[in-house]
Chains A and B, each alone.
Chain A
Amino acid sequence: MLDQTFYQKADEIIAFYGKKPASLIPIMQDIQGEYRYLPGELLTYVAGQIGITEAKAYSVATFYENFSFEPKGKYVIKVCDGTACHVRKSAPILEKFQKELGLSAKKHTTDDMLFTVETVSCLGACGLAPTVMVNEEVHPKMTPEKVLELLQELRGEKG
């Protein structure tokens, strides 16, 4: 069961975008932005409020990569695997992150909920390939060595 505050937050967001089916995606985006994941119960609640079926809401939520029913880490690290980054060797960077954090293609989030590692198809900073985005900040010209520095820096912020 979700805490009542989740529903209050959802109500605020729903009120902002309006109770209509077209509001589904922006509402889900804001909920995801707020909690770093999309709680399933909340999705059902939103569906009822904006007048769509639960199956429809679920089908939309699972279509888009950005939505996750699993809580994500404090730092969501997106390793760009766009063409430019790929050509400039982004694969070893992803491997380094995964190796350092004990993650894999199946396990994206560390047990301490600090890091989530994903790939992204292009961050639009191709001139600085290979790049990595941490939350909304882009880190340019990455190397496996810089991965270690970056993780240290992020861990340092933890306190």
Chain B
Amino acid sequence: MIKSRDELNRACESAKQSLASYDCRILVCSGTGCIATGSQKIYEEFQKIAGGTPGIVIDFKPHDEGRHVGVKKTGCQGVCELGPLVRIQKGDKVVQYTKVQVSDCQEIFDTSVTADGVVERLLYTQKGVSYKSPDEIPFIAKQTRVVLENCGKFDAESFDEYLASGGFQAFQKALFEMKPADVVDEIDKSGLRGRGGGGFPAGKKWKQVAGQAEKERYVVCNGDEGDPGAFMDGSVMEGDPYKLIEGMMIAGYAVGSQNGYIYVRAEYPMSVARLRHAIKELEERNMLGDHILGTDFCFHMHINRGAGAFVCGEGSALTASIEGNRGMPRTKPPRTVEKGLWAKPTVLNNVETYANVPKIILQGSDWYRSIGTEGTPGTKTFSLTGTIQNTGLIEVPMGTTLREIIFDIGGGLKDGGTFKAVQIGGPSGGCLTEEHLDVPLDFESIKKYGAIVGSGGLVVMDDHTCMVEVARFFMSFTQRESCGKCTPCREGTKRMLEILEKIVAGNGEMEDLDRLEEIAQMVKNMALCGLGKSAPLPVLSTLKLFRNEYEEHIVDKKCRAKVCQAMRRFVIDPQKCKGCGKCARNCPASAITGEKKAPHKIDPNICIKCGACMENCAFDAISVEA
């Protein structure tokens, strides 16, 4: 139990001391990515090794003799593709290891834990250069980490470690040194804008809720990060759950709310587990509950798990879902700030927005405004994926250009591919191309080019990507996820998908492009909710930027990226073909003929483009032509 500010500060001091008592910490990444590559086994192995080594103490008590080595699970360390990731930390010195296997653990332990060496072969390497410290890795060095500052650095399940790294300093500053209105003002002055997509100023929202006559209010966090290809919020919930909760507590204090809800999407079981753990720890210490730190401030946290509906990322659908209803957006007004959850005034922000709050309160709005752009201060997290060298979670100041992100941080395209486009903002967003690489990323600039920052998914695509197929992919997503309430979205996405499917199947007609555009414009203007209104954006943006590809599909029945199956032409290279006949035997359509030991031929009129021949050719003689 922590009953006062003094007790909190004492707890903080003792947490710092016990943190300082470590001679070495083995930080095993336990983000979703690294767990998938087997980091749990790595963690157990290090536990076993450290626990079995004489003179090493894992569970350190003040008077114990010996070296104190901690084996900890952290949140995402950033370069997911190279997992499992392990960091060895001694004081300020940190070594980052990548692709660690169970068999490497003893070597790491002997070299870096008990001695001060480095296992060179497991270091991060780029363009022939190895990097020891994670902060030197270009992928990380070029980022500005505010929201993600703690991710990967300490035990995500430890209240003490959060406290020791400065946790709850902001909260106690707000609670004891600021009036609720001061907190709202500070957030307002910082210019913090909602990171969920719309970019609505958070301070304004808070102010409106604080000003409502109704005294029962709610603080709700949107953790329903549904955009396919985005995992920023998931990483924060997993990697720094206390920070999110602290941000929400400050919001609760600022707007006079006693209850906070976090809505976490169904596919993030680990986020739910970490948040539940954190809430339990906080409740046990009365950092959540009634009369927190001996004041009149009471705050309770609740977790709601999503049940598989993308549309619940929309505010009113999310609150409907918490209330136990179908997640269907409702018309506005009334707005969420007036009548949100249970029809009470509600602050609804996403994970990243709340995660920015503690630092703004602690360091002030001027500091925050020094990062990012005039209109959009601060940083933005992005998940960088697709055909790019370095995939992973990044955080950069608002206003960073795509070129910096893709080529400096992301290391350019994978396998030396050619950059074609980047899809930004998920299914609600649009594509940007070569010509937009130097546009600064912030809410306004991007919008001008028909895309949105959205929640921050960046999917890089090379020239093996068919843009018509990409549009079809997004439309099939939004169509599947449409709640079905309003006519434009329900019927419009269905028909747009039909047309796109027709085009990629090689049956498109030129009039289809007009129909596609007509429906897209109508849906954009007439749909009920933000998700519906933005559902046609991928179509509109690809139609604008890659109209020639659509036309090629329709007129020439050609897919230049060789992606659209119906337009693939399988050909046998007579030079390579040995005439073994395996392809002909495997062809379900009997489209392949040829004499034994003589080059075979595929009849394109019979071929059903299944690719069975190519899969089965032992001589690599079959290829696809566009």
Contacts and interface: CB of A to CB of B under 8 A. Distances in A.
A21 B383 CA distance: 37
A64 B324 contact: no
Contacts of A22: 322-324
B307 A66 contact: yes
B307 A25 contact: yes
B436 interface: no
A28 B307 contact: yes
Interface string A55-94: 0000110011111000000000000011111111000000
B324 A125 contact: no
Given A22-B324, A63-B309, A87-B386, A122 B304 contact: no
A122 B33 contact: no
Nearest to A65: B308
Given A60-B324, A127-B392, A128-B37, A122 B32 contact: no
Contact of A84 (B35, B37, B321, B386): B386
A123 B459 contact: no
B356 interface: no
Contacts of B229: 82-84, 122, 126
B45 interface: no
B327 A64 contact: yes
A126 B36 contact: no
A83 B387 contact: no
B305 A26 contact: yes
B225 interface: yes
Interface string A108-136: 00000000000011111111110101001
B231 A126 contact: yes
Most chain A C-beta atoms within 10 Å of own C-beta, residue among B230, B385, B480, B483: B385
Nearest to A121: B228
B226 A138 contact: no
Given A66-B307, A129-B385, A140-B36, A120 B324 contact: no
Given A22-B322, A140-B33, A121 B481 contact: yes
B487 to A, nearest CB: 18
A157 to B, nearest CB: 17
A74 B350 CA distance: 35
| Interface size range on A against B | 35 or more
A128 B459 contact: no
B385 A127 contact: yes
Interface residues of B, number: 56
Nearest to B423: A83
B465 interface: yes
A83 B267 contact: no
Interface in B203-245: 225-231, 234-235
A133 B36 CA distance: 9
B37 A140 contact: yes
B321 A128 contact: no
A49 interface: no
Contacts of B326: 59-60, 63
A24 interface: yes
A126 B230 contact: yes
Contact of B391 (A21, A127, A137): A127
Given A66-B308, A83-B426, A122 B81 contact: no
A92 B322 CA distance: 36
Contacts of A64: 306-309, 327
Interface string B610-621: 000000000000
B477 interface: yes
A128 B81 contact: yes
B330 to A, nearest CB: 14
Given A81-B228, A128-B36, A121 B310 contact: yes
B523 interface: no
Nearest to A24: B324
Contact of A138 (B32, B266, B308, B309): B32
Nearest to A52: B324
Nearest to B309: A64
A135 B386 CA distance: 25
A129 B230 CA distance: 12
Contacts of B306: 64
B209 to A, nearest CB: 21
A126 B383 contact: yes
A124 B226 contact: no
A128 B324 contact: no
Contacts of A19: none
A23 interface: yes
Contact of B234 (A52, A63, A83, A124): A124
A44 interface: no
Interface of B: 32-33, 35-37, 79-81, 83, 225-231, 234-235, 266-269, 304-310, 321-328, 383, 385-387, 391-393, 423, 426, 457, 459, 461, 465, 473-474, 477, 480-481, 483
29 contacts: A23-B324, A25-B324, A28-B307, A59-B326, A63-B309, A64-B309, A65-B309, A66-B266, A67-B308, A83-B227, A83-B386, A83-B457, A84-B383, A84-B386, A84-B459, A86-B228, A86-B473, A87-B387, A120-B267, A121-B267, A121-B480, A122-B226, A122-B229, A124-B225, A125-B36, A128-B37, A128-B80, A133-B267, A136-B269
Given A25-B304, A140-B37, 20 more contacts: A24-B324, A25-B305, A26-B304, A52-B324, A67-B307, A67-B308, A81-B228, A83-B426, A83-B474, A87-B385, A87-B459, A122-B230, A123-B267, A124-B32, A125-B80, A126-B80, A128-B36, A128-B80, A129-B385, A138-B36
For the complex of A and B, 3 pairs with smallest distance between CB atoms: A127-B80, A65-B308, A82-B228
